[in-house]
């Protein structure tokens, strides 16, 4: 909670002096409070909030950091919360997703450090292999620009479809050049892809939502993104201008520590991969 400068009746008599003292006092109070306030970080539950909770429970206090974790289940609110100042940082997204969000929303959020990779995967409750997808199968894909393009690139890389030459980070089903099985694509919110599995033949699911749904990407995915040279690492991000906040720098240091690397490797068994 911020301290407020008390103004006495005597000080009010000298208005100019009051303004000078108040401004000076407020600056000192803001600086002191910012350093001592908890760092509030927005995160999706799995694995981001779990990783942050590990930092909070095992590393933050002894390293002088007060950390508060706020969970969100979608891919939009964590960024709007950073923009409006209701949280100090977020940890849930990739750089391509952030770039697309900033482009559409006037910028203002910047990456601090990349922490881990969640390989995107194709899952099904109806077939055991991608080759067994039937003619005309329905495949659910995320409906946001970045993740839809990422999903289509995954299918292209595994020979399920072929994208047009030059299809990039804004690719949609309209950019498919070859679709041998005549697949139909159902665009749904990323958070709903895993839940849609009972209604479609297969779905491309982001790693965090796959894990949250009880899937094991390294084992259950029909096809899975390669970690090699993968640009989709998940990162810590803040509002532009807050990159040098000492609390942010400390969290970035802890998120890329040997302890966190071991925690990720032990807990997620290849379904989440440290990127540092």
* CATH of the domain spanning 121-224, picked from 3.40.50.300, 3.40.190.10, 1.20.1250.20, 3.40.50.970: 3.40.190.10
pLDDT tens for residues 13-64?
Answer: 334 333 343 333 333 334 445 678 999 999 999 999 999 999 999 999 999 9
pLDDT above 70: percentage of residues in the chain: 88
pLDDT of 170 strictly over 70: yes
Whether the pLDDT of residue 8 is over 50: the answer is no
CATH of domain 36-119+231-274: 3.40.190.10
Angle in degrees, CA 86, 89, 95, rounded to 5:
130
Mean pLDDT of the chain: 89
Give the residue-averaged pLDDT of 241-256.
98
Residue-level pLDDT at 228:
87
User: What is the value of pTM for the model shown?
Assistant: 0.79
| pLDDT band at residue 147 using 50, 70 and 90 as cut-offs | very high
Average pLDDT score over residue span 73-102: 96
157-160 own/partner pairs: CB under 8 Å, 24+ apart: 157/223, 157/225, 157/226, 158/122, 158/130, 158/223, 160/122, 160/130, 160/133, 160/223
| Nearest alpha carbon to residue 185 among 154, 227, 224 | 154
CATH 3.40.190.10 in the chain, residues? 36-119+231-274, 121-224
- 119 vs 94, 160, 204, 216, CA distance in Å? 11, 18, 11, 11
């Amino acid at each position: 909670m911020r301290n407020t400068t008390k103004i006495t009746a005597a000080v009010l008599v000298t208005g100019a002096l009051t303004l000078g003292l108040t401004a000076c006092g407020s600056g000192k109070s803001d600086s002191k409070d910012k350093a001592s306030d908890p760092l509030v970080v927005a995160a999706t539950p799995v694995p981001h909030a779990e990783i942050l909770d590990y930092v909070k429970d095992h590393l933050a206090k002894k390293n002088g950091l007060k950390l508060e974790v706020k969970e969100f289940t979608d891919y939009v609110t964590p960024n709007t919360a950073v923009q409006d100042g209701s949280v100090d940082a977020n940890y849930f997204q990739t750089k391509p997703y952030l770039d697309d969000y900033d482009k559409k929303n006037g910028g203002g959020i910047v990456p601090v450090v990349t922490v881990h990779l969640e390989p995107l995967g194709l899952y099904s409750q109806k077939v055991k292999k991608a080759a067994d997808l039937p003619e005309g199968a329905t495949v659910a894909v995320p409906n946001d620009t970045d993740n839809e393009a990422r999903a289509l690139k995954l299918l292209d890389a595994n020979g399920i479809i072929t994208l047009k030459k030059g299809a990039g980070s804004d690719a949609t089903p309209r950019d498919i050049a070859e679709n041998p099985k005549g697949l139909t694509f159902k665009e749904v919110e990323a958070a709903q892809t895993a839940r849609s599995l009972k209604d479609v033949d297969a779905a491309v699911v982001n790693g965090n939502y796959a894990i949250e749904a009880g899937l094991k990407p390294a084992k259950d995915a029909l096809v899975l993104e390669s970690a090699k040279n993968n640009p989709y690492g998940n990162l810590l991000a803040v509002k532009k201008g807050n990159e040098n906040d000492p609390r942010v720098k400390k969290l970035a240091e802890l998120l890329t520590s040997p302890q966190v690397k071991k925690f990720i490797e032990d807990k997620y068994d290849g379904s989440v991969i440290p990127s540092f």
